[in-house]
Structure formats: C-alpha cells, structure tokens
Chain A
Amino acid sequence: MLKAFSPASHGLHINSTGLLAGLVILFWVVVAIAGPAFAPYAPGDIVDFDFYGPMSAKLWLGSDYLGRDIFSRILLGARYTVGISFAAVTIACFTGVILGMTAAALGGWFDRILSRLMDALLSIPSKLFGLVMVAAIGSSIPVLIGLLAVIYAPGSYRFARALAVNCNTMDYIAVARARGERTPYIILDEIFPNIIGPVLADFGLRFVFIVLLLSGLSFLGLGVQPPNADWGSLVKENIGGLPFAAPAVIAPCLAIASLTISVNLLIDNLPIKIRDRG
C-alpha cells in the first residue's frame, strides 16, 4: 500500500529550486500566522523622527512616511495579503471546481448556460471588475474577499471544466455510466481524483493572480483601507519615497515579489509523472 504512494515509485523528486521556493512560501505562511508576535514595534507607533529613514540596526528596514517601523508593518501586512488572498482563492477554486465538474458531467443546457455566463465574466478585465465593484459597494475585508473570489471563480471553473470534460470522455466514465452510477459518484469518485493535481497547481497560480490584484487595488487605494495595510497599501503609502530609493517602498515590493515568484517557481518545478519513452 505504502509503496504505491511513496514518491520513489512514481519517479517523483523535487529539485532544489522547487525546494527553495517552497521554503520561502512556508516562511511567509508562518509570518502571516505568527509574525506580528515577533514584531519589534507596534505597527502603528511612530518610532523614528525621520521619515523614509534608511535601514539601521534599530529599524531593520527603515521607517515609513510617518516614521513608523517598516519591518513591523510588513510582518503585519503579510497577514492581510496572504490571509485575504488565501480566503479568496479557496472560495474561488471551491466554487469553480465544483461547478466545473458538475457542468462537465451533466452537459446539456446546464453546461451551456453556465459556461456562457462564466466566459462573459471572464471577459471583464479583472482590475476593471474590481474598480466597478469597489466603486459601488466600497471596500472592506469581507467585500474584498468576496470580490476577489467572484473575479477568479470563472477562471477556475473553466480550467476545472476543461479537465473534467477530458476525463469525461474516458472509457472508465462510460463504464461507470453503463454500470448505472449516479452523477455525484461520477464527479467525486471518478473525475475528481484525476484532476486534483492540476487543480492544485491552478490553485497556486490563481493565488498569485489574487495577490497581484489585491496588491494592485490596494496600491490604487481601493483595497485594504487604513489603518490596516497589506503590502500593496505599504507601497502606495510610501511611493513618495521612491525618488530616494527608500527601503520603505522597496521592502514591501520585495515581499510581494518573493511570495509570488516562489509560488510560480514551486509550481513550475513540481514533479511530473515520468513518461518513459514511447
């Protein structure tokens, strides 16, 4: 039993790039959960007389436009960026995948109408969608999570549906239907186990998209609102420091980049099944 699932028997192994990327992601997850406990200062406290202060032993990443400690603010920002994105991507993928598999298994009108609707939603550029909705309903954390989930669910739907449609043409599905199996069994027991791998990879990519959109909205001042700040808000707040190359604006940028690039690298370096010569 064990043998079938051990990586070696699948010829799976992860390379050093993937491993490093995984560690960076793990680091940010830990920071998001426990980071603020380690913050040297309270994120709201003004601790420096100077603004846009340089890196120093006291303020590791300098100070922001009000003289607050950037390092502490990034630790707290991780919670917003990672937390909101994770919640949104979970909702988006859960709905997208369930609907996608159902549409593939049922086919017919249900599939046609839902797919047309999802395609239409997909054709609204994500930032635009965000702008319109934030203009209408304002921006709070639950609204942001819901909005990001709505924007990215159609993509997840389309992805899962395409995989499930492929799966659905396989003979093992025909065998199950000929046996008399009902749709829920076909979706959960026959289709789902076969698409879980790509779906998880898509989950990762979509997480990156959501981090990017959330940061973008916050950067425009439409995302996480003060006094709370995610990494995108930190960049916006401190953009004035850009001409002096202040760490206050560079550090949150690097935080975003390290997270999103790591997720992408991890996915790109995920082991694929061996395909020993044809």
Chain B
Amino acid sequence: MTKPLVDISNLTVGAETDSGRRVKIIKGVSFTVDPGEIVALIGESGSGKTTIALTLMGYARPGCSITGGKVCVGERDVVSMSEKDRQKLRGTDVAYVPQSAAAAFDPSQRLIDQVIEVSDIHKLMPRSEARAKAVDLFRALALPDPEHIGDGYPHQVSGGQLQRLSAAMALIGGPQVVIFDEPTTALDVTTQIEVLRAFKSVMRKGGMAGVYVSHDLAVVAQIADRIIVLKDGVIQEQGTTEEILHNAQHPYTRELLSAFQPAVFASLDSTAKKDDRKKGPVLEVSNIYAGYGSTGRDGLPSALVLKDVSCKLERGQNLGVIGESGSGKSTLARVMAGLLPHARGWVSFDGRELAPQANARSKEELRRMQIVFQLADTALNPSRSIADIVGRPLTFYHGLKGANRENRVIELLDMVRLPKGLLHRLPRELSGGQKQRVNLARALAANPDVILCDEITSALDTVVAAAVMDLLKDLQKELNLSYVFISHDLSTVRSICDQVMVMQSGEMVELLSNSQLPDGARHPYSKLLFASVPQLDTGWLDGLPEDIAGMGSPTENAHDARLRANS
C-alpha cells in the first residue's frame, strides 16, 4: 500500500467571535488522501468543509486558527511549519481553486499575469515558458481562443471561463494536491457541465490528487473517488463514492441522499375543484414587456428584461418558471407583484386587470397575491420580532390587534410547523429553514389565493429545502392555494408544478406539462437545461453526449464572440 500524500490527524480549528469568545469549529478531524486520489468533503453550510481544506495550505481565514493536530503534506507537517515555508508550499505543492473565480481574480491585472503569478512568485520557470504552459492548460481546459484569452481582464470573460481560468491558475505550479472549493456552485447548470468536464479531464491526465469541497452530492459523484461527510466540524462517515451513494450507513448521509430523490408529483387538481376551472385562470399575464432604466421613445425601458411573456396560473394548480440566471424569471415575479411596473402587456387576477404598480392596486387585490423571496435573511426585517413580522399583514389586511392578533400569529406559526416560543425572537436567532417558514407564514397571514415563490428553497441546505417543499404541498391541500414557483432547479419544480414554463434571456422558450418532464421537451434549450441537471450516478457526466454544449447557451457564445472581437 502506498503512503498517503496528505495525512490529516486530529485536526482542530478554533475561531474567535467578535465578543472575544473562542469556539471550536473543527473538532478533531482525521483523514488521508492518496496520490492521484480525489477526495470530496461534503456537508452543509457551516460544516467546516472549506476550513478543513484550507488547512492543507496551512491557512486559516482571519479570526480562525489551527489549534491542534497535524496536517502532513508529503513528509512535512504544515501546522508546525514557519510562515515562510508555508508560502513556499502554497501554489507549488498545494494549489487552490476558489468558489467564486469572479471575486478571486484581481480586476486590475490581465488574466495571463495572474495565471502565471505562481511561477513568478516561486521562480519556477522563465516567463515565456510559463506563458506557453498556461496556453496548454487553457487548451486542455477547453477554453476558447487559448492563445489570446489571457490578454483580457477578468470582467471581459464569462463566469464559466473564469472558473476554468482559475483552475489553470492552480495547475500552473504543477501541484501534488489541488483544493477545489465549491468551484461550480456559482455557475448555471449548463455551464457547470463544461467546467466539471474540463476539471475531470485535466486531473485525470495529470494524475494529481484533489480535495473537492461541495454541498452537492450529485456533482461530487462525478469527480470524487472517496467521499467524506461532514457536519458541525465532525466527520460523520467516509467511504468510496459507490459506498456512500449506494450503501450509506450513517443516518445523516441517508438523509442527505433521500433529500436528493425527486419527490413524487401528485396533482392536487382534484375533481372537487373542477368547478373552479370554469371561472378561468386565477392569474394571467399576457404579452409582458418589462425592464429597468429610462423609458425610450418606443415606450420600452432601456434595459429590457422580459420580452413578450405570457402565462396562466389555473386555480388550485401550480405554475413553475424555470431558467438560468439572467433568464428573467425573478423579474416576472416582480411584475406580477407590481414591484416592477410592466411597459406593455397586462396582468390580470381573477379575470380583472391589475394596475401595473402595487400602490395603484386595491388592498384586496394585493391581499390575494403574496410574494415570498429567496433569501429569508433579507426578506425578514432583522430588527422586528417574529410576532411583528407575521402580525403586520394581519393588522394591515384584517385589522387584527392585540390578543386576537397574537393568537392568529401562533396559529400561523403552527401551520408552518414552528413553535410559538419563537414569537418574540428576532430573525437572526432563527435557522435558515425556520426563517423561510416565517417568510411563508407572513404570506399566509394575508389569506392569499396565490403565492409567488421566488427561488424559496435555493438558499437552503438540501435536507431543509426538502422539508420546506413538503410543507408547501401540505399547505396547498389545506388552504386551496395556487403557487407560481420560480426556480433554477428542475427537480424542485418538477415535484410541485402542474405546468412548467422554460425561460431564456427574458423570453418564454417552451411550456410543458408535468408529465412531459423532462423527456417531452422539444426546444433545444429546454433539452440542454434538463440534460444538464447532475444525477446521483457516478457515470452520469461521462455518459453525456460529447456535443451537449453544442446545443449552446447563447450567453457563453456571445462572450466568446466579444472576446474575439476585442483581441
């Protein structure tokens, strides 16, 4: 048996809070990485996965420090090393691919200079040689125009390209171990595929070891040999990828896996509600044009986001809106809610046209349609108590006050499965899942007919998100609600929506019924989008057709074209 390349034993990391309190965030973690092996650290936010990965470079973020244990890379322990020696190790023996390449590239320097900076710092090779090596890496990472892409600045290339460039930046020093810190999390699914493919092929060719940090089991399944499951700074379970996927022992791992199984869709559009159908759709938008910026001579805003979008939400049904970032899906929700007045077209509720602007709609119209946002952190006023937050719509729409109001708030909290003990807490004292439930309770307080859900599960950890989805379904049964469900995630949309609208660049691409998902898609973009969703199957990425990207996301192509025009 070969000696492990990385040997971490009994690692502890401490952090100091602003109040000077010291807390342990990594509580005695041990694992090894063999040469050429890719080990994934998987866990939810706050599990300490990034913190552990960074200790391989002897680095702890400001406020944190390694308090105990050993982190051996090769023969040497980076914990007991001098800072000078650690500097020598960084970039050469251990390299790092950041989560957000957009932030990790210095905006004031040319890409190529940053990519070969490692060679510059450690005097590894002459500049011309480093440049040539970089171009080879660009080619290996399937970057467009490898000879010239490096001459641009970071803001001139797309997110997916930057992420690949950051991999080149890590590989230039010929490291033994590469740390990937959620490198595809910030990317859209269609871009993620290309990046993952590129990573996988260079790692395989170079025979390098890797530590891949992620929260996404399906992504990890494509690239890792072994998976380590973390929670609260403690290892829960470790095993080969196949073992973890198919024979997980630890209950937490199983929970993670089951959250991944797409829930079965059951239409609530039962016969009992068929009568309602006659009244027509509850919410309808028609030929909507909307955007930001000053209004031009043609009556359209200068930055047009939505172009001729029409859709209907039937009573008691759910409409899904799916698309990647920049597709205009959230803008559509804002138009429906009257937060962004549309320039052309109309929005009607229950057969009556609504004013474009929220403050021109009647209280009753506003009450019947509520909106719930993605980030509960910013959707709940941090300085108001939960009782105030949920109680306000009760006072505003229904005139409830005092004990009546409080009793109703407790009922609503109960409806979203929250204890009444939270009544006088502030939002920051709640967990992410709890906050999102409060967010829902506030919408329910209005007694709405329609709730616009804007990516409400995207910011949540998988297990928590699954529970929120179950809650949404239960509430719908109890309260005869209709949802407009906006998401970038196919499996979530699929589990709850009767109809799904696919959007791209502000336009509707295709409207599909639930039964047509995902294989009934006809439009090439829908096909690409659906095919790009990672599956919990180690062979998924390799089994994809080689030309999947050829179906083409236009944004990526536009970027390439502009880059060529510039160079």
Which positions in A face B, CB cutoff 8 Å?
1, 4, 9, 11-13, 170-172, 174-175, 177-182, 189-190, 193-194, 196, 271-278
Contacts and interface: CB of A to CB of B under 8 A. Distances in A.
A194 B383 contact: yes
Given A178-B338, A180-B359, A277-B63, A193 B17 contact: no
A197 to B, nearest CB: 9
Contact of A178 (B23, B51, B370): B370
B2 interface: no
B424 A1 contact: yes
Nearest to B18: A274
Interface string B45-84: 0100001000000000101100000000000000000000
Given A4-B385, A276-B15, A278-B61, 10 more contacts: A1-B424, A4-B425, A4-B429, A171-B378, A172-B381, A175-B371, A179-B393, A189-B384, A273-B18, A277-B25
A143 to B, nearest CB: 38
Contacts of A194: 381-383
Contacts of A180: 358-359, 361, 363, 366, 396
A11 B19 contact: yes
B380 interface: yes
A65 B334 CA distance: 72
A193 B361 contact: no
Contacts, number: 90
B379 A172 contact: yes
Interface of B: 15, 17-21, 23, 25, 46, 51, 61, 63-64, 334, 337-339, 358-359, 361, 363, 366, 370-371, 373-375, 378-385, 392-393, 396-397, 424-426, 429, 442, 446
Contacts of A274: 17-19, 21
A81 to B, nearest CB: 34
A274 B338 CA distance: 37
A51 to B, nearest CB: 52
A193 B63 contact: no
Given A174-B373, A175-B442, A194-B382, A277 B15 contact: yes
B137 to A, nearest CB: 31
B453 to A, nearest CB: 13
A4 B426 contact: yes
A11 B21 contact: yes
Contacts of A196: 383
Contacts of B397: 179
Contacts of A4: 385, 424-426, 429
A179 B381 contact: no
26 contacts: A4-B385, A4-B426, A4-B429, A9-B429, A11-B18, A11-B21, A171-B373, A171-B375, A171-B378, A175-B373, A175-B379, A178-B338, A178-B371, A179-B392, A179-B397, A180-B359, A180-B366, A182-B359, A189-B384, A193-B383, A194-B381, A194-B382, A194-B383, A274-B17, A275-B18, A276-B15
A275 B397 CA distance: 36
Contacts of B379: 170-172, 175
B19 A181 contact: no
B532 to A, nearest CB: 28
Given A11-B18, A273-B18, A276-B17, A190 B381 contact: yes
Contacts of A278: 61
